[in-house]
Amino acid sequence: MPDRPQLGPTIFVLFGATGDLSKRMVLPAFFQLARSGLLGSRWMLIGTGRGTVTDDHFRAHVRDSLTQFGGGHTDDGWDDFAQRLRFAGGGFTPEDPGTLPSTVQDARDSLGVPDAQLVHYLALPPSTFADTTRALGAHDLARGSRVVYEKPFGTSQSAFRELDAAVHEVLDEKQIYRIDHFLGKESTQNLHILRFANGLIEGVWNREHVEQVQIDIPETLDIDDRARFYDATGAVLDMLVTHLFQVAAEIAMEPPLSLGADDLQSARESVIGAFRPLDPTEVVLGQYEGYRDVDGVADDSETETFVAARLWVDTDRWRGVPFLLRTGKMLGVAKQRVSLVFRTPEGPLSDIPPDGAVLTFDLSGDGEIDMSMVVKEPGPDDELSVGHLSLPLDTMPLGHALAPYSRLILDVLHGDRSLFTRPDGLAHVWDVADPLLNRPPAVKLYPGGSMGPPEADKLASPCGWLVTQSTG
């Protein structure tokens, strides 16, 4: 990343350092940055928690996490990485900061920089965000720092407003980084790069040419490893009002003045303001059979593990085009796809497949862009078929793809807020979700390994969902 300046001295404080999110995502991402030489030469990482853990025990925990979730390649660069790890125990509340202030001071002394940049990453349950933020202010760890909040940032309109007010009592908006890792995916960023850099694509990126947009994130996984969190959250809060709405905004936004942080954020948040509030009759909620048998799930739980919704964007560019959003657990296939289905042209040909011309972005892994189009089958007759052109993004020359969390953490370290959400956009998100949260439709059971309740199929007519159990 030659366009990035060298980072200055940095102290990264990871709250919830021994939790599931840190093990799976944050620690492997930080190690990837270190091995890639993107952290500079003067940095330290401090993990926090309620217990009393020695630095060596924390280092062993980190190495186990990297072995399990970071690809297992810890030999290269581990010794240097390990010596920069510290642990601050005793918990952290407004009344009692534990050992964190003294551990931060020791890190500053070790770096020889009294004003090293502080970055706090809250890999914690959302219910703890307000108190943790107040504690940062109470113990003089907020001034000049950057603070990363995991999603969801609030669980309703009122909860969002209360949390937003509590956070802004301590921090300025420019210190706040509300993370949504889908915005850090290479293919998500290519949604606007491909469009704004190619007149061929930008010219058809509108309702005149696009019949529907599908944002489809089915998962084959269950929720065994985080049952209590999931039963208190559900698919709507875990995925719909976070990842899927943000990806919809990336697609639907008007061209920003630039791709700088303020302009890109403004374009994304502005179009969220044009999202029509969800109509509960255009939403299908489901729960996979056997969900209530999982340890940690209430026997009478009505929590949804599946949601499909039809979203409308009331702008001149997209008015009348349905944005079809779907995600769920224990489905028949795992995919992360965004598809623009183009309208069938008028003309001399008949029997054109309704989903023959589709531009698809695969958001999984390093990403891939696929274009399907109607072509003539080889032979003497004018038989039509659908062909595909695919561009795997990992084949691009000189590419250096970072995992989504790595990219977003690096942006935080550089103070780049381009791929993070703003409160005005999040306030609109809760306005859009409010009818669904207040008047949810009945949750319908579906068998594991299916594609969810059959009622969801009607939402995607006339084309139908492009991701099916037979999707390769």
Give residue 126's Cα distance to chain centre. 15
Choose the catalytic residue: 192, 243, 388, 400: 243
Annotate 174-212 with b (16+ C-beta within 10 A) or e (fewer): ebbbbbbbbbbbbbbbbbbebbeeeeeeeebbeeeebbb
For 253-289, the DSSP string reads PPPPS-SSHHHHHHHHHHHHTTBPPP-GGGEEEEEET
Of the CA atoms within 13 Å of residue 204, those in its CB half-sphere come to 18
Would you call 385 helix, strand, or coil by DSSP? strand
Phi, psi of 430 (to 5 degrees): -70, -30
CB 148 within 8 A of CB 121: yes
**DSSP classification of residue 346:** P
Q: Three-state SS for 322?
A: strand
d(CA 324, CA 460): 7
57 tagged catalytic: no
Binding annotation: 16-23, 50, 151, 181, 185, 219, 238, 329
Residues placed in the known binding site for substrate = 181, 185, 219, 238, 329
Cα 38 to chain centroid, rounded? 22
Axis crossing angle, helix 245-252 with helix 423-438, rounded to the nearest 10: 120
Buried b (16+ CB within 10 A) or exposed e, 390-412: eeebeeeeeeeebbbbbbbbbbb
Residues contacting residue 234 through CB under 8 Å, at least 6 positions apart: 303, 304, 305
Q: Which residues are annotated as a binding site for NADP(+)?
A: 16-23, 50, 151
Q: 43: which residues sit within 8 A by CB, 6+ positions away?
A: 7, 9, 10, 11, 12, 84, 111
- Secondary structure letter of residue 244 according to DSSP: I
Q: Summarize the chain as % helix, strand, coil (round to 5).
A: 40, 20, 40
Active site positions, annotated: 243
